[in-house]
Structures are given as C-alpha cells and as structure tokens.
Amino acid sequence: FKIKMDELELKEELGKGQYGTVQKVFHKATNVVMAMKEIRLELDEAKLNQILMELDILHKSTSPFIVEFYGAFFIESCVYYCMEYMDAGSLDKLYGDGVPEEVLSKIANSMLHGLKFLKDELSIIHRDVKPTNVLVNKAGQVKLCDFGVSGQLANSLAKTNIGCQSYMAPERIQAVNTYSVSSDVWSLGLSLVEVAGGKYPYINDNMFAQLKAIIDEEPPKLPSHFSEEAHSFISDCLRKDATQRPTYSQLLQHPFIKKYEDVDVDMAAWAVAANLSRASH
C-alpha cells in the first residue's frame, strides 16, 4: 500500500537529525504508529522519483534486525520516509555510562545479523554505522536504520554534511572512495566501544586532530573490566589494516558472541530501564 500525508495523524517530534526531523505519526488506515523522517533535499522531481524507486526494494525483503520500511512520499522538495517506530529510541541515548557485557554482546549480535542481512540479501553496505543509527524497542529488539539503499539519496546527502563525530575507518579518511564491507566492521567496533564505555572514544573538540588520531594512534579499547573475549572481538573489528578485519560470519562465530548466545539476557528490561533513566536526565 502507499502512504499519503493526509492519512497520517502527526504526534510528537522524536528527534532532530543532520538532515531533518523525525516525528511520531499514526497511520489511521492501518492503525500503525510509525516514525516519519523528513529529509530536505533540493532536487528535481525526476531525482525524487528515482529515490522513491530505489527505496522500493525495502518492501521486498525484511529482517528482524532492520527497522521496517513502510513507505515514502515527497512533498515539494522533501522526502518523507515512514518506518517502524522504535519506542526505546536510539542507542546513543540509551547507553548512559556504559552497558554491561552481556547486553553489549546481544547488541553486537543483532548489529552483525543486520549488517550481514543487508550485505547478503540486498547487496548493500551500510556506510553509516553509529549508535544513532541503532534503534531499540521496549521488547528489547535492536535494529539498524539509515543504511544506503538509495544511491541517489546517499549522493544528495553526501553533499550536505559529514558530521562532527567520525566513525570513518582509517582507510576512508586516507583515500577517497575506498569503501568496502570491512569499513563497516570498523564502525561497528567503534560504536561498541562507545556503547560499552559511555562515550565516543576519540577527542571530540577538534575535527582535524580527531581524524589524525584515527589514522595515527592505536585503536580504542574497551574499559578494562570487560572480558578477554570482549577485548579480542573489539580489537579484531578495529584492525587498522582493513584487509585484516574479520567478516560478519567470522564475527558471529567469535567467542564474545558465542559466550552469550545461550544466555537469556533480559534485553527488554535493559531497554525499558535505559529509556526511563534517559527520560529523567
């Protein structure tokens, strides 16, 4: 089915991103609460139509590790992207001072499944793996959003902004246009260090110094109280030589993932508590 603006009841704003706002909406015809992202683009109708066509592949395959896509439309030069509403919010607002190891392992597990699905089923690399693009619901599910399905959309956005906290792998900073799956593996590792320790691990007040540190310094590590398996997983993801980083299949077999696979971690309780303490801050 196609979604139109006049079928939506607008609710509160959920957040502001780099390119526009995200708003909670209610789709009356289907009784579904959705999150609607407004993306401002100065593009002609042909380019906007191309974006809608490219997004259409998202209707064809779904995964429990990817935020569901409900549909998109444009009004004037804004694209409105309607997706599954994730009621605990994004990981950057949930990690607080850091998460326990078993929660980190489950988050890593879901992210790996999501990234592997994108690669195997849709042949796409995410290109923007970071805590803001990992959404959580109060059932404890962890899902990826904001991946580069639409080449046209990605191109239009790339011209706009590069952000001030870099999750870019060293090879991306050093050589333009080298991007492979292994760059996403770096971003995954870096995101997990941030989630584990409660803060972005590089200096943050000087973009040049930050990029220099990513290239020249030793990769960041987890806080010392994490297990040997956890440390090993992170140092595998954060190998500075991209060719030395493991694949998603290899990472899914890593002891850090295996160790907690049969452990019933109450992710729902964690998500609800994290969301609550975020609301009171």
* Residue set of the binding site for ATP: 37
Instruction: Tell me the C-alpha distance between 104 and 83, whole Å.
Output: 25
Binding of ligand ADP at residue 14 (CB under 6 A)?
yes
d(CA 168, CA 150): 20
The answer to whether residue 87 is catalytic is no
- In the complex with ligand ADP, which residue's Cβ is closer, 21 or 235? 21
Q: How far is the CB of 23 from ligand ADP (least distance, A)?
A: 9
| Nearest alpha-carbon partner for 230 in 114, 133, 127, 103 | 103
**Least distance in Å: CB of 193 to ligand ADP?**
19
The C-alpha atoms of residue 18 and residue 36 are separated, in whole angstroms, by 15
85 is an interface residue for ligand ADP by CB under 6 A: yes
Task: Measure CA 98 to chain center.
Answer: 18
Beta carbon nearer to ligand ADP, 74 or 85:
85
Q: 71-76 contacts: CB < 8 A, separation 24 or more?
A: 71/1, 71/2, 71/3, 72/3, 73/2, 73/3, 73/4, 73/5, 74/48, 75/5
Single residue of 105, 109, 110, 133 touching ligand ADP by CB under 6 A? 133
By the rule CB under 6 A, 150 interacts with ligand ADP: no
Residues tagged active-site? 128
- Which chain residues interact with ligand ADP by CB under 6 A? 14-19, 22, 35, 37, 67, 83-86, 89-90, 93, 132-133, 135, 145-146
